[in-house]
Amino acid sequence: MTTISVLGRGRVGGALADALTRAGHEVTTVGSAPGAAAAAVRNARVVVNATPGDSSLERLTALRDDLRDTILVDVSNATLDDADGLPGDLLYPGSSLAERLQEALPRTRVVKTLNTMLYPVMTAPAMLTGTPSVFLSGEDPEAKRTVRDLLADLGWQKEWITDLGGIRTARATEAAILFVPHLIRTRGFTPFALSVTV
């Protein structure tokens, strides 16, 4: 059992919190109130960032001291929305939210994952007809091992998980969000994930 705090009570945060609780972990969810977030983060071994990506850096930087020595699982994408409210461009071109978080939180072990799929797939990858892929980016091997175990608890098989390397590789997976509006307009709001076939 791992003590986990999920920051964000939207569809993503709620789904992850429910699934991790069902897997036997001690999970708390936190909204936007700074005091509540600080208390929850301080008592967690793993913190999941499921806050809106365009405000994540500011929110989490304010929790720098409370996030010290924790594993931060970043599942958000930082984008500028288009006229339809869908991702239109990257907020940090030439970089990534995960990199910015790691720079701002040097004593926190940031791992990027689960950001290349529609949110229902995060907690139920077997719902897809094909074999999905999920990626890891981060500097700390132990932190990535912990996140691998959590992904397994969410139904991700070992062979579906690809460790891309350091946190800089997160800029590649975050850029994948630019596919999303085109897929939604073409296929509708249908669960999907990227898949690497070899």
Pairing of strands 134-138, 109-112: antiparallel
pLDDT score at 64: 96
Mean pLDDT by runs of 10 across the 198 residues of the chain is 94 97 96 80 96 95 96 97 86 97 98 96 96 98 98 97 98 94 88 91
Q: Which residues of 69-108 are buried (b: 16+ CB within 10 A; e: fewer)?
A: ebbbbbbbbbbeeeeeeebeebbbeebbbbbbbbebbeeb
pLDDT score at 34: 63
pLDDT score at 32: 64
Burial of 198 (0-12, 13-18, 19+ CB in 10 A): exposed
pLDDT score at 78: 96
Contact 181, 86 (CB under 8 A): yes
Distance CA 179, CA 176 (A): 6
pLDDT score at 23: 97
pTM score: 0.96
pLDDT score at 180: 87
pLDDT score at 86: 83
